[in-house]
A = this chain, B = another copy of it.
Amino acid sequence: MKHKAINFNEKLNSFSEHWKPKVIAEMNDYQFKLVKLQGDFIWHEHADTDETFIVIEGSLRIDLPDREVTLGKGEMFVVPKGTQHKPYAEKETMVMVIEPKGVVNTGDGDTSEITAENDQWI
């Protein structure tokens, strides 16, 4: 499994839920996750780490306290650590998230029902 190319489309075709990141690879103590987004998420932050978003397909708006950043296919953005942010996608959008292993999708200390289970490999 770890000895062959990891194909994004193949992995994306293997699940359909929104807002549930799936791990596809690890580099040192970081994970590469694919996630399907649609609609609005919640405001949250990660106090100890930056978080990288790369859009594979679709359009992602990241709301920040003082501005918004819109990413299309083939674009990325790094949310600085400790920065409140809220992802939003009008239509279903395919995103790669890169962050240290163990980061919770809804931010530090959150245990709401939209918190996704961590370390879910596909």
Chain A count of residues within 8 A CB distance of the other chain: 35
B28 close to A76 (CB less than 8 A)? no
C-alpha spacing A3/B9, complex, angstroms: 29
Within 8 A of B (CB), among A9-32: 9, 24-28, 30, 32
**Secondary structure of the A side of the interface?**
strand
Chain B residues, CB < 8 A from A3: 67, 69
Q: How many copies of this chain are found per oligomer?
A: 2
Asked if A112 is at the interface (CB within 8 A of a chain B CB), the reply is: no
Which B residues lie within 8 Å of A5 (CB)?
69-72, 75-77
Does A92 belong to the interface (CB within 8 Å)?
A: no
A63 at the interface (CB under 8 A from B): no
**CB of A26 to closest CB in B, whole Å:** 7
Write the residues of chain A forming the contact surface with B, with a CB cutoff of 8 angstroms: 2-9, 24-28, 30, 32, 49-52, 56, 67, 69-72, 74-78, 80-81, 98-100
